[in-house]
Amino acid sequence: MPKIRLPDGSHKSFPGPVTVAEVARSIGAGLARAALAGKLDGRLVDTSFVIDHDAELAIVTERDPEGLEVLRHSTAHLLAHAVKELFPEAQVTIGPVIENGFYYDFAYKRPFTPEDLAAIEKRMNEIARRDIPVARKVMPRDAAVKFFRDQGELYKAEIIASIPPGEDISLYEQGNFIDLCRGPHVPSTGKLKVFKLMRLAGAYWRGDSKNEMLQRVYGTAWAKKEDQDAYLKMLEEAEKRDHRRLGKQLDLFHLQDEAPGLVFWHAKGWTLWQQVEQYMRRVYRDNGYLEVRCPMILDRSIWERTGHWENYRENMFTTASENRDYAVKPMNCPGHIQVFNQGVKSYRDLPYRLGEFGTCHRNEPSGALHGLMRARGFVQDDGHIFCTESQILGECQAFTALLQKVYRDFGFPDIIYRVSTRPDKRIGADELWDKAEAALIESLRRAGIDFQVSPGEGAFYGPKIEYSLKDAIGRVWQCGTIQVDFFMPERLGAEYVGEDNARHVPVMLHRAIVGSMERFLGILIEHHAGAFPLSLAPEQVVVMSISEHQADYAAAVAERLRADGWRAVTDLRNEKISYKIREHSLQKLPYQLVVGDKEKQAGNVAVRMRGGEDLGAMALEAFIARLRSEADALGTA
């Protein structure tokens, strides 16, 4: 006689085993119709799952985050079902849920076309309208291997054959389509109403470039049409803001095949870079950091002692000279410990804060490279704090407050906080991991900050807080981090003299605010769609002459602006002023100044704002005063 505890604390008792769907029906017909799955003692199950013991149960609907995941997982199967109906010779492989959607990989004799994609989506809608029941089946492992081989599904058979012998295999069947899956799935295809296939791509079987190339079909699925419409609109806006396109349009940077994952910064882009770097340099200075510079290449022995050679080598570029192995640094921390180790440090010197705009290189897979957002060479606003165990909490709190101010100054008030705890592959004693994780969590609690926990997502040498910001169109970007490391200082011989005159190993806090400078600049480009605020704009003002008669005056205006610290350029070409205005509008400069004979005689400038607003004529000094009033915390030059 199962007794079911519901989320509101109430109980329902049943005379015998009962399905999740039957429990939902006993609560109300509306809930029964809305039910997509159940959450039984914290585990997601199908609505057909039979409960034969006392348990806690929540009915999962489209309103729940888990419900959306079930919808997307089921839509991936709907995609595979449609492909098999249209292209019976195609073999299905895997189809997981991803952020905002799903994908499914197929093996087929020819590449799918956009027309195929449209036909597949149409068939998916037809199958959904059939409202076919979805049923879970269990089959012995060897029988499942034979079943899929007989069906010609060799990839599925290979997946199942890799499962240990003797295990039962979970399968899901909808009509004439059956697929390997742990589930859960929606009770019938009629629940799948809002979805769209997005694009085609190639993918190697099992992610190994030595294997055959498959065809990947990406899709998105939502509970409500308005949610999907908003998502598609966001994607459209994101395409307009793509930093790679804007980088070319605004002459900021370029990428080329001869330097994969590395950036060629142009003059305007480097000016933008310098606005961020110089602001961050002031942050270092004003918060007790000593800026240093360390070598890019270090001997293998250092990386062995830190644990990187064993745990991170596949991501490192290595080289050799005179029978010695070296690695190009993927991070700056070992170098900072070498700086700390020079000379005797006392407890009075702690916390000892070092900062560096350190160039790092990581051997990222070519398929993962994405403009500035993911590169092989990048610069971090890297900092390390050497402190005592008792200072960890205060330093973490102070760092979070500092990071919040920096993000606000750059126009990012919304921050998401996530604590990433110990991974399976790690170094050091669990007792120290306990202390490190507790300090990070307590620092956020004392600040009154809501946060999420990501079990197992910490670095191999320590847990961390990850700070993610939201951009103008709602996308989330993880940028900042602070990590507590009890282990690397000891491995590299860092010590300080305590109050007891004995030697002690400091705790090392790894911290970054913007993270990769390249990536942060990519975020800024897309956040502002290239229309940077005055403080960041590579060129802040353009002075344009109407004819050659005002060229000297236009040049003098620009020189006066530059003398006051503003980034001003001139356009003295013999072109129509309407052409000049249009061209510089595409460059998204904050201000355009037009000077003709009238402005020259009066010592004025005609001022146009980036959006096209005409502010009319004003004295040059009045315009400079306007610029000064618009300056913000990032500075003006």
Is 549 tagged catalytic?
no
Which residue in 81, 336, 464, 608 is the catalytic one? 464
- Check: CB of residue 141 under 8 Å from CB of residue 167: yes
Rounded distance, CA 117 to CA 111, Å? 11
Q: Which amino acid is at 237?
A: E
Is 382 tagged catalytic?
yes
| CA nearest to 135, candidates 83, 102, 85, 184 | 184
Joined tokens for residue 211: 């294997």
Q: Which residues contact 361 (CB under 8 A, 6 or more apart)?
A: 296, 316, 317, 328, 329, 330, 376, 377, 378
Joined tokens for residue 455: 């079990």
- Check: CB of residue 515 under 8 Å from CB of residue 480: yes
Rounded distance, CA 220 to CA 124, Å? 13
As a dihedral over the C-alpha atoms of residue 271, residue 277, residue 281, residue 283, rounded to 10 degrees, the angle is: 120
Which residue in 174, 215, 228, 380 is the catalytic one? 380
- Check: CB of residue 360 under 8 Å from CB of residue 331: yes
DSSP state, residue 625: H
Which residue in 510, 511, 584, 608 is the catalytic one? 510
Query: 3-state class of 84 per DSSP?
Result: helix
Is 450 tagged catalytic?
no
Which residue in 116, 382, 471, 485 is the catalytic one? 382
Rounded distance, CA 414 to CA 411, Å? 9
Which residue in 294, 333, 396, 479 is the catalytic one? 333
Sheet with 452-454: list strands edge to edge: 289-291, 352-361, 377-387, 507-516, 476-485, 464-470, 415-420, 452-454
Which residue in 123, 191, 376, 384 is the catalytic one? 384
| CA nearest to 196, candidates 163, 236, 167, 165 | 236
Which residue in 361, 362, 600, 608 is the catalytic one? 362
Is 510 tagged catalytic?
yes
Sheet with 168-174: list strands edge to edge: 134-140, 168-174, 177-180
Catalogue the active-site residues: 333, 362, 380, 382, 384, 464, 510
